[in-house]
Amino acid sequence: MTGSPIRLLIADDHPVVRAGLRAVLETEEDIAVVAEAATAEEAVARAGQGGVDVVLMDLQFGAGMTGAQATAAITARPGAPRVLVVTTYGTDADTLPAIEAGATGYLLKDAPPEELAAAVRTAAAGRTTLAPAVADRLMQRLRSPHSSLTQRETEVLSLVAEGLSNQGIGRRLHLTEGTVKSHLARIFAKLGVESRTAAVATATDLGLIRR
């Protein structure tokens, strides 16, 4: 081995998981586990002390700060370590906030040991590693950002385009006003917009609705 080992902080609220990750990674000559954290807050504090190159970050820590929030706090600092998310959660609801928060990579906990070690090295070098399933979904979202709109969401948006209020949409589709608002919130998130007007314009441009 040439040069100093990659200094690793393992952040996970399960002692068995931390021990397992440590056992796997300490067999690698170029990786050294220098610290562990049982909460996201501990991870942020320890990362801020320096001497860490890569943080292995879980997403769910029970009460308190989430892994995505910790990732944002860690990566916001100058000279911050890279954050590699290693979690059991692979849904878009978990993946996107973590990546937007500044995570360099995203792996699932069932990844083979050699893949995990390779991801640590890749993260330390400042490059991105994504679990194949996560990468596939992100690519699909980039190619077809509208593809995840449900039929009901399309119906709601079409009625918005007709000028109906939330109450009017609810009456037409036999939904509560609260349910309509929930559908609109998801539509806004999926289309990357913040208003009814922008949602209609974007959906029209994408050919999702007719006007």
Higher pLDDT, 210 or 188: 188
Q: Which spans in the chain are helix H? A: 15-25, 40-48, 67-75, 92-100, 113-124, 132-143, 151-161, 166-173, 177-191, 196-205
The reply to whether 16 and 60 lie within a common domain is yes
The reply to whether 40 and 113 lie within a common domain is yes
pLDDT for position 2: 55
Instruction: Please indicate, yes or no, if residue 146 is contained in any of the structural domains.
Output: no
* Rounded distance between C-alpha atoms, residue 60 and residue 39, angstroms: 9
On whether the CB atoms of residues 34 and 28 are closer than 8 A, the answer is no
pTM exceeds cut of 0.75: no
The reply to whether 126 and 174 lie within a common domain is no
pLDDT at 41 over 50: yes
Last-in-domain residue among 141, 161, 196? 141
pLDDT at 163 over 80: yes
Q: Taking CA 60 as the corner, what is the angle to CA 56 and CA 64, rounded to the nearest 5 degrees?
A: 110
| 47-63 pLDDT tens trace | 999 999 999 999 888 88
| Tally of domains in the chain | 2
Domain that holds residue 157: 151-205
Report the SS3 class of residue 153: helix
pLDDT for position 179: 94
Residue 180 phi/psi, 5° resolution?
-60, -45
Using 50, 70 and 90 to split pLDDT, how confident is the model at 124? very high
The reply to whether 86 and 12 lie within a common domain is yes
